[in-house]
Structure 1
């Protein structure tokens, strides 16, 4: 009787929310087709993949691909490059959309706010290939605007993209410029969901804008920040292929070679497709470990986490 009642209650709830679930169907279908079905290809990491035999017909080699990966002389340098760049993205890149959202929220002129939002969203839609070309031209030691400007003050030209000391700052700054505006949308939506009566009550109590920001806005979006931080932590080893690839050259390879470009160079160009899958699986496991640790720490601090 109890079980029958719970089923009726569940069906009643589904009937009430049926249009919301109908809207959810395309998203579920998309993730099922493009994210879950391809997961069977992970078994390539444990096989010596052969195009003629296919994934299932290729011979099983167990952990040989992982032994090969760990035995490569440049593997640990690539691991450090990926991890270090991921940490830099987390430390410098993650807070910027939050600060940008707080700044936009404090604007009093709605027209100026809308124009500013449109301008800072635009870089997200520009391809990294285009941005890479812009950076190459701006930072060129011969005709680049930056070096021309430095030359006016008596400085020698600097080949920024060939100098290993400048590569990581260029990657981080260009990533912030391109994606921070788009990333701020989620935080602006979270801020919009804060009860306006809290701000009115704070104004009556004499709180200024900074105190409202510190005691109302930030606590109001804290759960959103935690969830997005954990999701970013799960991608700690992922630095994206396009950005690194378009800025990479033989002069900066010692700091620019990350797992995405490494898998492309050794796995795709070298014809070792199983190795490319091995690298992807390895980075995913590392990301999962960081995600589990981060979620456990969030639970210790009484935060919701992601589950």
Structure 2
């Protein structure tokens, strides 16, 4: 047999083997889709997100620091456990949706945290909006246990969560992105890969910064118009009808200025304080502080 014929034979054998392995891996992924998904953090965002996983046929094992928050999801068919560590024992794919960086650190590394009883190979997806540095710390801690951590904060509010129209901004190992996307597409309309761990959070900060700037600008514009003697509805109408009536400004106006109630005297603290809170992760990241006095709350 010639060397060329031998090589052709070996190549044909390799392709048959590769096809068999690909089919086997696809089968394993299909079977994995039927395994339970852990969900930790059942607040205003977490509950509708977990409910959408149930709607797509995923068994959900969940917990929350407040037991009363679990009842709605339990009534929808989820299994409720006592702490994050117990969830980690029963699920090899876990999503967390928590209020802040300290909450994430506690849920992952605390005495009853996920990493205390996690199984090797578990996929961890954190959809909280936190400091990118904390995401990177959690990724390192997870890697030491053989788990994979990805940050996937969301853009969109409670309404988008209920309708499964969230946007997920994902940071992590690229080869794991498709595994995360399988779950995230059940809860959102857009899943964007941003880069390595922490870049999802950084992208969310950019979104929040733009929204905060828009909120402050819109509030200042309303305040200026009214202080100049213009009727509130005229200021509103001009904003909607001119070039400033772009979709983004309409969204910002509707979302951030409903607190004003179209009163004669505009009360800015809500909008400014909300902007301050949204910018906090960015401020920590660049080692600077935003002064509430500078933002002129309660002038």
TM class, shorter-chain normalised?
A: under 0.3
| Higher RCO, 1 vs 2 (CA within 8 Å, ≥6 residues apart) | 1
Higher strand share: 2
When the two structures are superposed, what TM-score results if normalisation uses the length of structure 2?
0.21
When the two structures are superposed, what TM-score results if normalisation uses the length of structure 1?
0.20
Higher helix share: 1
